[in-house]
Amino acid sequence: MLLTARNAKKNVRFKSSPKVFSSRELKNITTTGEIIELAEIRKAADRIAPYIKRTPLFYDEDLSARFDSNFYLKHELLQTTGAFKVRGAFNKILSLTEAENEREIVAVSGGNHAQAVAYAAHELGRKALILMPEFTPRNYIEKTENYGARVELYPTMAQAFDRAKQYEAGGAVYVHPFDNETVVAGQGTIGLEILADAPQVTDVIVSIGGGGLAGGVAAAIKWQKPNVKIWGVETNGAASMRAALDANEIVTLPKITSIARTLGAPAVSQLTFDLARRYLSDVTVVDDAEAVREMFYLLDKTKVLTEPATSCTLAAAEKLRGKFDETSHVVVILCGGNIGLDDLFQLKKIKEN
């Protein structure tokens, strides 16, 4: 039997019985007016089901005791590429027109989106070109190439994005990591799974790079259960969403300095900015050192190796602990676990300091 939030613990505490719409009820509901339509997320779930893993959600005893609450971990790092990004990549490529299917696929990424697009393209018999910044860890580059994609390196992420626009103008199909409704709908399928496995959920903590994951999950959950709080998380040196919210407009960071490289979007998009303003309760920014400490905590207590872009969610939970009590049901999304041994040893030094 799969251990989920439904059957992991018998004495969990509830504020009230939650209302979650059944599949039959949802078919009779219109979602016009939403930024990302719930119907599109449901279609995405059906479309990508043959290609992605339906990842488990586990109740965590240690975290629940630590926070005196009910904590659950959504293991998206168990996807084939080690991160959630395959959901959006498959949904986008599977949604292309017949004419678009004849063109090369181009994507920009410092890691997880690169592998996702490369893997999805390979599985669907397509050619992919991935543009990466030069600071990309070698293990990310090698894994992307192993999926059959060509890789080009650029001095900065901003230059890689500029080059992608040129390729798109020349006829390539550009699969943006977050500024695309089809990609965001694919990421939103995680929200459907969370509600299916933990209908009692009160809070979700999720990392923000460009905002597609947080926006998609929030759209899927908030439309069905609007009282659920969605807490976004960034790291210092990669906090483009926090900067945008503070300025009430999109801000381009001059440089990404965080070690959480997969959160390194220099700016969010209008789409994800709008989703954040509409659905997120707040965006918490944590230090790299805090994310690293929690990465080793997860490794020690749950025997799961994450990356700082994932473990930052637990660092944020510590800052938010006053928001949770014994009746809360908090889902932490473990969005990725792609980290090389060299990086792991370097991060251990940060933890020890």
**In this predicted model, what pLDDT tens digit does every residue of 265-291 receive, in sequence order?**
889 999 999 999 999 999 999 999 999
Which of 6-10, 64-68, 318-322 is the least confident region? 6-10
In degrees and rounded to multiples of 5, residue 285 shows phi and psi of -110, 130
Tell me: do 348 and 230 sit in the same domain.
yes
Report how far residue 119's alpha carbon sits from residue 81's, in angstroms, rounded to the nearest whole number. Answer: 7
The DSSP letter of residue 83 is: B
What domain range is 190 assigned to?
A: 23-83+181-352
- The confidence band for 133, taking pLDDT boundaries of 50, 70 and 90, is confident
Q: Tell how strand 229-235 and strand 203-207 pair up.
A: parallel
Tell me: do 192 and 155 sit in the same domain.
no
Which pLDDT value is given to residue 111?
A: 80
Rounded to an integer, the average pLDDT of 287-308 is 95
Tell me: do 252 and 215 sit in the same domain.
yes
Tell me: do 140 and 244 sit in the same domain.
no
Query: Is residue 2 in a domain?
Result: no
**Is residue 10 over pLDDT 60?**
no
Write down the mean pLDDT value for the chain.
89
Report how far residue 176's alpha carbon sits from residue 338's, in angstroms, rounded to the nearest whole number. Answer: 20
Q: Encoding tokens for residue 69?
A: 């609450």
- Which of 110, 140, 174 lies at the terminal end of a domain, its last residue? 174
Which of 20-24, 53-57, 193-197, 258-262 is the least confident region? 20-24
Q: Encoding tokens for residue 22?
A: 């059944």
Q: Are the C-beta atoms of residues 278 and 297 closer than 8 Å to each other?
A: no
Tell me: do 245 and 329 sit in the same domain.
yes
Tell me the pLDDT tens digit for each residue of 87-109: 999 999 999 999 999 999 999 98
Distances (CA, A) of 151 to 46, 130, 160, 302: 31, 5, 11, 34
Q: Encoding tokens for residue 201?
A: 């959920």
Tell me: do 201 and 337 sit in the same domain.
yes
CATH of the domain at 284: 3.40.50.1100
Query: Is residue 4 in a domain?
Result: no
Tell me: do 170 and 195 sit in the same domain.
no
Which amino acid is it at 223?
Answer: W
Which amino acid is it at 143?
Answer: K
**Is residue 17 over pLDDT 60?**
no
CB atoms within 10 A of CB 16: 8
Q: How far is CA 208 from the centre of its chain?
A: 7
- Residue 23: Cβ-neighbour burial (10 angstroms; 0-12, 13-18, 19+): exposed
Tell me: do 142 and 233 sit in the same domain.
no
Which pLDDT value is given to residue 305?
A: 93
Tell me: do 164 and 215 sit in the same domain.
no
In degrees and rounded to multiples of 5, residue 108 shows phi and psi of -120, 130
Tell me the pLDDT tens digit for each residue of 234-267: 999 999 999 999 999 999 999 889 988 788 788 9
Which pLDDT value is given to residue 318?
A: 98
Tell me: do 52 and 63 sit in the same domain.
yes
Enumerate the H helices of 6-124 as residue ranges: 23-27, 38-48, 61-67, 86-94, 112-123
Tell me: do 68 and 92 sit in the same domain.
no
- Which of 174, 194, 212 lies at the terminal end of a domain, its last residue? 174
Portion of the chain with pLDDT greater than 90, in percent: 77
Number of domains in the chain: 2
Distances (CA, A) of 228 to 20, 149, 335: 11, 39, 19
Which pLDDT value is given to residue 189?
A: 98
- The confidence band for 351, taking pLDDT boundaries of 50, 70 and 90, is low
Which of 63-77, 250-264, 290-304, 318-332 is the least confident region? 250-264
Which pLDDT value is given to residue 352?
A: 63
* Category of 142 on φ-ψ map: left (φ > 0), alpha (ψ -120 to 50) or beta: alpha
Portion of the chain with pLDDT greater than 70, in percent: 88
Tell me the pLDDT tens digit for each residue of 151-199: 999 998 789 989 999 999 999 999 999 999 999 999 999 999 999 999 9
Tell me the pLDDT tens digit for each residue of 322-344: 999 999 999 999 999 988 677 77
Q: How far is CA 328 from the centre of its chain?
A: 22
Tell me: do 185 and 314 sit in the same domain.
yes
